Chains A and B, each alone.
Chain A
Amino acid sequence: DAGVIQSPRHEVTEMGQEVTLRCKPISGHDYLFWYRQTMMRGLELLIYFNNNVPIDDSGMPEDRFSAKMPNASFSTLKIQPSEPRDSAVYFCASRLSGTGSRETQYFGPGTRLLVL
């Protein structure tokens, strides 16, 4: 299995521009998570989906952030308009529902975003 795939790996943009981050979860996983990681705030959960349906978006910082999951194999996180304080590493993770070690989340390599 290729694992969780994220694109792009690096993104540099100017303030005010729209940014779209993409994620392909592990095939068969029914949960998908979007996280943001910064030195100051650590790893923060932004939103998560179960069977393509958004379950909890309470971590989304502002209306400038939106996320979609049109099908089981693809999700996007969009920031519009972007601001310098959005600079961070954005991780996508997926997991399979169930108990025990199935609680494990598998993380992608992350997208390193820099907003100038």
Chain B
Amino acid sequence: QKEVEQDPGPLSVPEGAIVSLNCTYSNSAFQYFMWYRQYSRKGPELLMYTYSSGNKEDGRFTAQVDKSSKYISLFIRDSQPSDSATYLCAMKGNTGGFKTIFGAGTRLFVKA
């Protein structure tokens, strides 16, 4: 079993839809939770960052962390064609030497 599980998709939605992307994990030591967005033929770039449990909102994006269920989510409201990309969840422990573990990424297509 992988430490981080993420459905690779692809996920196709119409413009304006609410998108829900999710990851589950097995390591209870993870404290930092991130979502990266990767456009085709580009490197990943940080989209959202959350420490421990709770919600964080940034514009149309909301990140949720439920440590009791070992489950994290990214919601995109009013999705746009420019949101079409691969979204990777990432997690890290609370010790400096811990590696960041990435999910496989979910490919999202937003149709105009």
Which A residues are closer than 8 A to B by beta carbons? 4, 42-43, 45, 48, 55-56, 91, 93, 97, 100-101, 103-110, 112
Q: Are A103 and B100 in contact (CB under 8 A)?
A: yes
Q: Assuming the A-B contacts A43-B88, A43-B105, are A108 and B97 also in contact, with contact meaning beta carbons closer than 8 angstroms in the complex?
A: no
- Cβ contacts B26-47/A at 8 Å (1 or 0 each): 0000001010000001111110
Q: Does B71 contact A (CB under 8 A)?
A: no
How distant is B31 from chain A, measured CB to nearest CB, in Å? 9
Closest A residue to B94 using CB positions = A99
Q: Are A101 and B49 in contact (CB under 8 A)?
A: yes
Q: Are B99 and A104 in contact (CB under 8 A)?
A: no
A91–B49 Cα distance when bound, in Å, is: 21
Query: How big is the B interface, by class?
Result: 20 to 34
Which B residues are closer than 8 A to A by beta carbons? 32, 34, 41-46, 49, 51, 88, 92, 96-97, 99-100, 102-105
Q: Are A107 and B99 in contact (CB under 8 A)?
A: no
Q: Are B49 and A103 in contact (CB under 8 A)?
A: yes
How distant is A93 from chain B, measured CB to nearest CB, in Å? 8
